Structure 1
Amino acid sequence: MYSTIFSHVGKYKKEAYLSPLTIVGEVLMEVLIPMVMGLIIDHGIRKGNIGYVAGMGGLMAVMSVCSLCFGALAARFSAVAAMGFAKNLRSALFRKVQGFSFANVDKFSTASLTTRLTTDVTNVQNAFMMFIRMAFRSPIMLVCATIMAVRQNRRLSVVFLFAIPVLAFAVFFIISKAHPRFEKMLKKYDEMNGKIQENLVGIRVVKAFAREEDEKKSFGENTNSVRLAQFAAEKLVVMNMPIMQLVMYASITAILYFGGHMAVNGNIETGELSSFIMYVSQILMSLMMLSMLFIMFVISRASLQRIYEVLAEEPTITAPEGAGARARDGSVRFENVSFSYYDDMGNLALDHIDLDIHSGETIGIIGGTGSSKTSLVQLIPRLYDATEGKVFVGGHDVREYSLDTLRSQVAMVLQKNVLFSGTIRDNLRWGDENATDEEIIEACRSACAHDFIMSFPKGYDTDLGQGGVNVSGGQKQRLCIARALLKRPRIIILDDSTSAVDTATDSSIRKAFREKLADTTTIIIAQRITSVMDADRIIVMDGGRITDIGTHRELMQSSEIYREVYDSQQKGDDE
């Protein structure tokens, strides 16, 4: 786990190595300063040797400046290395997520992935910055100061034998109890982020139903859960500092007591005692920093595990090495296909589907909610893989294509239409980044989008805002259709993509498809029978199975489900 994550330090290794090197210089200066101070007191001040005091005082000042410079450099190097590491780690996580299938994203949830890319990476960044400084500074300081203290007075050094076990026990206790609490805290963060995301995406629904107060109350409960989880975790961690300070001050008090008696009896010089006390402070401060390092490790360990889970996750959909299949046409074939979202053959969304769609054919798909219409078409571009059976596109099993090649041949307008921040033109060029203005306009005319685009003051340069908040649902659908058309695919799938447009616009879009996409296989999922009644064939689905296939006329005679849907819609129109 650690090698995988810390391999992303990348080009910032130089700074990561320079930070501990400069810390060595800082520590050496700090360790020598108390010795110089003791010499000034014992050989300069006590003997009235002003020249000695001035000379050694100047040396002490130079050492202080050197320590300051080394410390500043170490801080800069560690900050650069930690921020660069965090940048690389976030980039690696984002690239990994981009390679995930829908099933992988479903496993983690969007909110959890957001937390891992933000909060968890920040925790690891802070731990890494502290590690490359304190993990070197504290042990070096501890060893050097201990050597100097023992060299000054072995008898007084016995105090350390009592202080160190207390500190070690306290750190072990906190580490063993805190880790599971931080894991729980991060899960609460996931839940809170999920609530924020859900509320912001559905803010119009919240206001339409006047549910603001309920959402505030619900979010308050979420934030309180985070607060309680934080409190449970942090109340252990905050014990570290008081325990460390208690041990440190008790040790210094003991040294002052015993050292004072020794000084009175002439067994130790005043300057020697002063420098010894400073060494003790450095030793205990080093132990305190080490304990804080361990605590930071506990906090970051939960984040490290969550980040590693994403980096180690294998995409459920991959292409074989050297996949070089090319679609010869827009034909689609389902061969005894079954599919489950949970890889459970006892809980199938699609049950033994056999279907042949000819190249250039227009296929309509009708069925009630939960009949798995969307599940069926999502197998064509391999957004999910069939649990059993095979799906063929252009004469080849979809698993024989590289994902880029397959998905460049299949354009899909999903139920949930998504636009991105930027201009209309930028969003349309997702279909073809090299599309000319003429090609963009032609695609928009086919999708009945050109007229409303030109009604905006900036036309195709209109900024859509985040998620396309500046356009209506019907306009968003038409822009997504135009974007798909720019791919010039062999197969285009419209998953209930005209539900928000009026019947006249729907009819115009279908007419444009018939005239301009004669060679393109078109699959239309719709709730309105009028949207598919002129298709070459219509598929009726129920309970994950295909119950009937035929033209509108044939189904009106042979399919009870189709006839019931048609009659109910005609009755609704008449009323």
Structure 2
Amino acid sequence: MLAKLIVQYLGPHRKLVVGVVVFQLVQSIASLYLPSLNADIIDNGIATGDTGYILMIGSVMLGITLLQVATAIVAVYFGAKAAMGFGRDLREAIFVHVGEFSEREVARIGAPSLITRTTNDVQQVQILVLTTCTLLVSAPILAVGGVIMALQQDVELSWLMAVAIPVLLVSIGLIIVRMVPLFSQLQVRIDTVNRVVREQLTGIRVVRAFVREDLETARFERANADVTRTALGAGRLFALVFPVVMLIMNVASVAVLWFGSFRVDNGDMQIGALTAFLSYLIQILMAVMMATFMAVMIPRAAVSAVRISEVLDTPTSVVLPERPVTELHGTGLVELRDVEFSYPGAEQPVLHNLSFRARPGETTAIIGSTGAGKTTLVNLLPRLFDATGGAVLIDGVDVRELDRDLLWGRIGLVPQRAYLFSGTVASNLRYGNPAATNEELWNALETAQAADFVREMPEGLGAPISQGGTNVSGGQRQRLAIARALVKKSEIYVFDDSFSALDTATDSRLRQALARSERSATKIIVAQRVSTIVDADQILVIDDGEIVGRGTHEELLETSETYREIVDSQLRAEEAA
């Protein structure tokens, strides 16, 4: 999974990777050549007192060193550029793919986990790519080349390499095996911390309203402690790597000097050759250490790669049509034919046997008890979900066959929870229509009954809006969301309980203004209050996922017991108030 991910998203940067390989190759060859020159100076220069020879070979060594430095700098630059490009492309791929998810996939994986996978998990794989480009290319060259060059210096001491290298590999391998499960746990626990923080920030008002700060603090501390404990466990094991490597390297160096001194004393080996052999052994062990260092990083990156691939390999339940319809001939007729919808694993469908028409120029209202399926119903229109049975049609065409941009361009949706983006009032209103003029913005604000409070803001349309619209009230946020939908100038408007935070008078004025300004549009209003829908051309009463009544307000009072119960309960509530 990890290799597949790296090959796929590092492919566009293959020229940089080739450059890294070439410069790392030159750097490694230079590193392998220097100890031989050093041995030559000791055995043929210093031993004979030939200063000219020493200066000549020394100059060559200096030139090779400068070449080594230059190639190392270029290799690191190319490697870093390739790794950063890889991370950018992978993050973009995840973001684009998640943008195609329906709410079903987002809910299954979880928003906090998606954030972690797009940031922390990508970073883990990106670090591995960077380290691979800067270390792993040279490691096998130094290891294999070092063995060959060391054998050229002296074959009798080669048994030391045959002992030191396996000991180093086994020691590091034992540490890595214990680190793998800890890295897997760490990513899951980072998910948990993100989820807890997101819940607390999103629900801060609820936390304070119920005086649960101590409980939420304790919950965060537990999640944070789990991350810390797991990270410390992995960190302790990782901390063993370098002491183990240094111990084996130092013991091997002492062994080379100890056994090599006897060979020098017997005249079987020269001092320069012994020095070169020691340098090559250190290079070999360093190459092995770099490879094991990579091996330490691979498990965590592999865990992250699996999590990333899980997102990228998750198909959206809202499948784009192979040959989408790119043109509609109509003015916004909405029709549902025997629609059914079931959540995965649910025993019973949420919606069943739903059939109705919402005509252009008319207002179709949907009312029902909490949990009746009203929001699920309207989410089927813009394909936030797909119906599991029946068909949803716009101007006679199934929404599953429509081009996505055409579909979304026809619908102006105001969701149940109005959400504003960080920016200004104007930037939020232009979200669906960037070319809208200030006059069009003010017209939409007038219709949405939001013009007065926007004018009272010192900056007017340029007034800042914080993320989520938390610096304006719930009613103001709803009205701005309605104005944003109106600026889009759609043929179909869907208001999912979008008037709930408005007082009765504002609600009435807004509906009257909406009827005047959007006479030809199809308007679908989901509401809890009867007063919001009393003037609708058609009212649908939803109960337990099916339509149990339809007609005007007066007709339903006579024919629908469920509707009468809703009206009576609200009248009693008003009288009690």
User: What TM-score bracket applies, with the shorter chain setting the length?
Assistant: over 0.9
| Residue 133 (structure 1) aligned with residue 106 (structure 2) | no
Stretch moving more, 146-155 or 533-542 = 533-542
Cα separation, 2, equivalents of 1:203 and 1:6: 43
Cα separation, 2, equivalents of 1:261 and 1:539: 100
Partner of 1:154, secondary structure, is: coil
Specify the alignment match of 2:474 in structure 1: 473
Once the two structures are superposed, residues 338-370 of structure 1 have per-residue CA deviations (whole angstroms, 9 ceiling, x without a partner) of 1112164x2321122222333322122111211
The one-letter code matched in structure 2 to 1:195 is V
Q: In the alignment, is the contact (CA less than 8 A) between 2:169 and 2:288 conserved in 1? A: no
1:332 corresponds, among 331, 334, 338, to 334
Specify the alignment match of 1:353 in structure 2: 354
Provide the aligned length of Structure 1 versus Structure 2. 574
Once the two structures are superposed, residues 265-323 of structure 1 have per-residue CA deviations (whole angstroms, 9 ceiling, x without a partner) of 22211121111111100011111111111221112111111112222222221232221
The 1:3–1:327 alpha-carbon spacing in structure 2 relative to 1, beyond 3 Å, is farther
Specify the alignment match of 1:58 in structure 2: 59
1:571 shift after superposition: 2.1
Cα separation, 1, equivalents of 2:251 and 2:226: 38
Cα separation, 2, equivalents of 1:327 and 1:16: 52
Specify the alignment match of 1:549 in structure 2: 550
Q: Residues 269-418 of structure 1 correspond to what in structure 2 (within 5 A)?
A: 269-324=270-325, 325-326=327-328, 328-342=330-344, 344=346, 346-418=347-419
Cα separation, 2, equivalents of 1:134 and 1:430: 46
List alignment gaps of at least 5 residues for structure 1. none
1:112 shift after superposition: 0.8
The one-letter code matched in structure 2 to 1:221 is R
Specify the alignment match of 1:438 in structure 2: 439
Cα separation, 2, equivalents of 1:22 and 1:40: 27
Stretch moving more, 41-50 or 297-306 = 41-50
Q: In the alignment, is the contact (CA less than 8 A) between 1:142 and 1:286 conserved in 2? A: yes
Task: Give the TM-score of the pair, scaled to structure 2.
Answer: 0.95
Q: In the alignment, is the contact (CA less than 8 A) between 2:6 and 2:129 conserved in 1? A: no
Partner of 1:467, secondary structure, is: helix
Q: Residues 4-403 of structure 1 correspond to what in structure 2 (within 5 A)?
A: 4-9=5-10, 11-324=12-325, 325-326=327-328, 328-342=330-344, 344=346, 346-403=347-404
Q: In the alignment, is the contact (CA less than 8 A) between 1:170 and 1:243 conserved in 2? A: yes
Partner of 2:417, secondary structure, is: coil
Partner of 1:386, secondary structure, is: coil
Q: In the alignment, is the contact (CA less than 8 A) between 2:448 and 2:479 conserved in 1? A: yes
Partner of 2:42, secondary structure, is: helix
Stretch moving more, 447-456 or 236-245 = 236-245
The 1:385–1:449 alpha-carbon spacing in structure 2 relative to 1, beyond 3 Å, is same
Once the two structures are superposed, residues 53-95 of structure 1 have per-residue CA deviations (whole angstroms, 9 ceiling, x without a partner) of 2222222222222211111111111111111211111112111
Cα separation, 2, equivalents of 1:14 and 1:203: 50
Specify the alignment match of 2:533 in structure 1: 532
| Residue 520 (structure 1) aligned with residue 521 (structure 2) | yes
Q: In the alignment, is the contact (CA less than 8 A) between 1:10 and 1:88 conserved in 2? A: no
List alignment gaps of at least 5 residues for structure 2. none
Partner of 1:356, secondary structure, is: strand
Cα separation, 2, equivalents of 1:96 and 1:23: 36
Cα separation, 1, equivalents of 2:156 and 2:74: 38
Partner of 1:501, secondary structure, is: coil
1:258 shift after superposition: 0.9
Stretch moving more, 494-503 or 12-21 = 12-21
The one-letter code matched in structure 2 to 1:560 is E
1:176 shift after superposition: 4.4
Q: In the alignment, is the contact (CA less than 8 A) between 1:179 and 1:301 conserved in 2? A: no
Cα separation, 1, equivalents of 2:519 and 2:51: 102
1:193 shift after superposition: 0.8
Partner of 1:144, secondary structure, is: helix
1:177 shift after superposition: 4.3
The one-letter code matched in structure 1 to 2:530 is I
Partner of 1:549, secondary structure, is: strand
Specify the alignment match of 1:427 in structure 2: 428
Once the two structures are superposed, residues 173-216 of structure 1 have per-residue CA deviations (whole angstroms, 9 ceiling, x without a partner) of 44444334322221111111111112222223333433333222
The one-letter code matched in structure 2 to 1:370 is G
Stretch moving more, 231-240 or 522-531 = 231-240
The one-letter code matched in structure 1 to 2:557 is M
1:236 shift after superposition: 4.1
Q: In the alignment, is the contact (CA less than 8 A) between 1:330 and 1:360 conserved in 2? A: no
1:403 shift after superposition: 1.3
Stretch moving more, 479-488 or 346-355 = 346-355
Once the two structures are superposed, residues 387-440 of structure 1 have per-residue CA deviations (whole angstroms, 9 ceiling, x without a partner) of 111111211111121111111111110011111111111111112111122211
1:573 shift after superposition: 1.8
1:171 shift after superposition: 4.5
Once the two structures are superposed, residues 468-527 of structure 1 have per-residue CA deviations (whole angstroms, 9 ceiling, x without a partner) of 222111111011101111222221111111111111110011101222222211111111
The one-letter code matched in structure 1 to 2:371 is G
Stretch moving more, 285-294 or 256-265 = 256-265
Specify the alignment match of 1:450 in structure 2: 451
Stretch moving more, 199-208 or 116-125 = 199-208
Cα separation, 2, equivalents of 1:478 and 1:529: 19
The one-letter code matched in structure 2 to 1:330 is G
Q: In the alignment, is the contact (CA less than 8 A) between 1:431 and 1:485 conserved in 2? A: no
The 1:6–1:427 alpha-carbon spacing in structure 2 relative to 1, beyond 3 Å, is farther
Cα separation, 2, equivalents of 1:27 and 1:527: 73
| Residue 494 (structure 1) aligned with residue 495 (structure 2) | yes
Q: In the alignment, is the contact (CA less than 8 A) between 1:5 and 1:89 conserved in 2? A: no
Cα separation, 1, equivalents of 2:194 and 2:463: 31
1:550 shift after superposition: 2.1
Partner of 1:286, secondary structure, is: helix
Stretch moving more, 53-62 or 116-125 = 53-62
Cα separation, 2, equivalents of 1:5 and 1:554: 64
Cα separation, 2, equivalents of 1:431 and 1:68: 54
Cα separation, 1, equivalents of 2:480 and 2:226: 41
